[in-house]
């Protein structure tokens, strides 16, 4: 099944008022409530608001809700050239969006409820309490003819085996008859949320055909690409987790390729570039680790169901373990390079540039750079980290790049980021101590220029 509206044209510049002036009729009476106003939920809610829906964003974090209602968000999303900050302020002014902590009232006011609440993983164990709390609140306030679409990444089977019974228990209504339930996987990359909600093919399955049709009708308000339907909710749930897990495996493999290339004294990034000219090859880049909410958690979403089914997932498990240990490997390399210039890691100052879990992001959830900083501190190093996009405060974080580099023995580049520069090696060398070391995990340092000013250089 495909979305009915015409595909939106991609242009270099975009006047957001054009979208507001061309709101499809089917959007006008839609009231949409989205549970969770984080990296997925906020841009998703605003995507519906931009297309004429009356929307409510629900979150348990009162400080976050207050900030959002004041027009403040630290997200780095854009819709074409329009920042999420401008989009948020416009939708608040137009009264098509508001954020609330009163989830019960929000459900009562809306006939379409979308859930983006995650399942945290801690020490390899999943925590269903946040999702359960949201679902119970929805169930207690559910009305006949309401639609619930689950867009969280979940353990396969969660929608039908966990969420559906709670909704029926709390509401005393019958799923598929009195209300409608569907699952649609979230497939966006942070930084491209608005564009990918609109133009990434969307997968969806419902507990029955009426639920499926209601979900397709809602999703097609935002999605202008193909809406691909499945007869199996478990298949869509599993496909989402596998999409993430395959990247974990891919990255674990290229890390081993990087070590092989280092031993062979060839450039791993050149090897990857050459291999990727094959139309059926897509090797990812090695780096300081695998971060964010999706990829590191993927194996742990598959593992509980695999155990229940007595199925081995040895490859996924090994890849996850190898990637989990990458921050320790990077710290070992920092220590090795310091030793090579006659210094010890203990009491050496290490400047860390970039704290986000990936390039050009403000997301520091499950971030390898944060793990690297903590390991360095445990081993006795003095850490001074700079990232102008990450809003979280840390004891080891400083406000200026020069402050991080001042009197540093080593500089470790962990994230490409707006506001972090690497183009003046002479200046960097003057700020740092004698015999400075560069650890480059992002392939951005000019080796010739760096060595000209006395840097000992290592690249992943």
Inter-residue contact 174 to 207 (CB < 8 Å): no
pLDDT for the residue 98: 98
CB-based contacts of 376, cutoff 8 Å, min separation 6: 331, 334, 345, 350, 352, 383
Query: Encoding tokens for residue 400?
Result: 């200026």
Tokens standing for residue 143: 């009305």
Domain limits of the chain? 16-233, 266-460
Six-digit token string for 251:
């990255």
* pLDDT for residue 137 is more than 60: yes
3-state DSSP assignment of residue 78: strand
pLDDT at 324 over 90: yes
Q: Which of 9-18, 117-126, 215-224 has the highest mean pLDDT?
A: 215-224
Confidence of residue 134 (pLDDT cuts 50, 70, 90): very high
The residues pairing with 126 across neighbouring beta strands, listed in sequence order, are: 121
Residue 389: partners with Cβ closer than 8 Å, 6 or more residues away: 74, 76, 356, 360, 361, 362, 417, 418, 419
**Mean pLDDT across the stretch 365-385?**
97
Confidence of residue 296 (pLDDT cuts 50, 70, 90): very high
> In this structure, which CATH number among 3.30.70.20, 2.40.50.140, 3.20.20.30, 3.40.50.720 belongs to the domain 266-460?
3.40.50.720
State the CB neighbour count (10 A cutoff) for residue 136.
Answer: 15
> Does position 21 have pLDDT exceeding 70, yes or no?
no
Mean pLDDT of 26-55: 92
pLDDT beyond 80 at 385: yes
Q: Exposed, middle or buried by CB within 10 Å (0-12, 13-18, 19+), for 256?
A: exposed
CATH of 16-233, one of 3.40.710.10, 1.10.10.10, 3.40.50.720, 3.30.950.10: 3.40.50.720
Residue 28 pLDDT: 63
> Do the two domains 16-233 and 266-460 of this chain adopt the same fold?
yes
What's this model's pTM, rounded to 2 decimal places? Answer: 0.89
Indicate the pLDDT class of residue 11, thresholds 50, 70 and 90.
very low
Instruction: Quickly state the pLDDT bin for 223 (edges 50, 70, 90).
Output: very high
Supply 161's token pair: 């085996």
Q: For 76-128, where are the alpha helices, taking DSSP H only?
A: 84-93, 103-109
């Amino acid at each position: 099944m495909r979305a009915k509206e015409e595909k939106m044209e991609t242009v270099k510049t975009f006047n957001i008022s054009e979208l507001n002036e061309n709101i499809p009729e089917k959007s006008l009476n839609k009231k949409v409530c989205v549970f969770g106003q984080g990296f997925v939920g906020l841009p998703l809610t605003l995507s519906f608001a931009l297309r004429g829906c009356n929307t409510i964003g629900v979150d348990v974090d009162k400080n976050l809700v207050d900030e959002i209602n004041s027009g403040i968000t630290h997200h780095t999303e854009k819709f074409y050239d329009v920042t999420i900050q401008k989009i948020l302020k416009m939708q608040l002014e137009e009264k098509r969006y508001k954020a609330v902590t009163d989830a019960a009232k929000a459900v009562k006011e809306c006939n379409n409820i979308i859930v983006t609440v995650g399942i945290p993983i801690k020490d390899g164990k999943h925590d269903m309490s946040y999702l359960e709390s949201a679902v119970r609140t929805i169930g207690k306030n559910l009305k006949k003819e309401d639609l619930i679409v689950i867009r969280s990444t979940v353990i396969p089977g969660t929608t039908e085996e966990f969420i559906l019974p709670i909704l029926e228990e709390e509401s005393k209504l019958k799923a598929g008859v009195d209300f409608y339930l569907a699952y649609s996987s979230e497939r966006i990359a942070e930084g491209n949320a608005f564009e990918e909600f609109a133009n990434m093919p969307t997968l969806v399955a419902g507990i029955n055909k009426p639920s499926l049709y209601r979900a397709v009708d809602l999703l097609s308000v935002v999605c202008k690409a193909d809406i691909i339907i499945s007869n199996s909710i478990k298949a869509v749930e599993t496909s989402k987790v596998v999409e993430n897990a395959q990247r974990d495996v891919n990255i674990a493999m290229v890390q081993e390729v990087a070590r092989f290339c280092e031993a062979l004294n060839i450039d791993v990034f050149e090897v990857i570039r050459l291999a990727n000219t094959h139309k059926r090859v897509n090797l990812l880049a090695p780096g300081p680790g695998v971060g964010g909410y999706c990829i590191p958690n993927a194996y742990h979403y598959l593992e509980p169901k695999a155990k229940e089914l007595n199925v081995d997932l040895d490859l996924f498990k090994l890849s996850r373990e190898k990637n989990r240990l990458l921050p320790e490997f990077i710290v070992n390399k920092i220590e090795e390079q310091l030793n090579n210039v006659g210094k010890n890691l203990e009491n050496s100052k290490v400047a860390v540039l970039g704290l986000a879990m990936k390039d050009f992001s403000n997301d520091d959830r499950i971030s390898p750079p944060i793990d690297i900083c903590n390991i360095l501190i445990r081993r006795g190093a003095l850490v001074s980290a700079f990232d102008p996009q990450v809003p979280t405060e840390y004891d080891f974080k400083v406000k200026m790049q020069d402050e991080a580099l001042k009197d540093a023995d080593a500089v470790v580049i962990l994230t490409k980021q707006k506001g972090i520069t690497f183009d003046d090696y002479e200046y960097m060398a003057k700020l740092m101590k004698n015999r400075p070391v560069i650890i480059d995990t992002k392939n951005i340092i000019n080796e010739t220029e760096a060595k000209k000013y006395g840097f000992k250089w290592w690249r992943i």
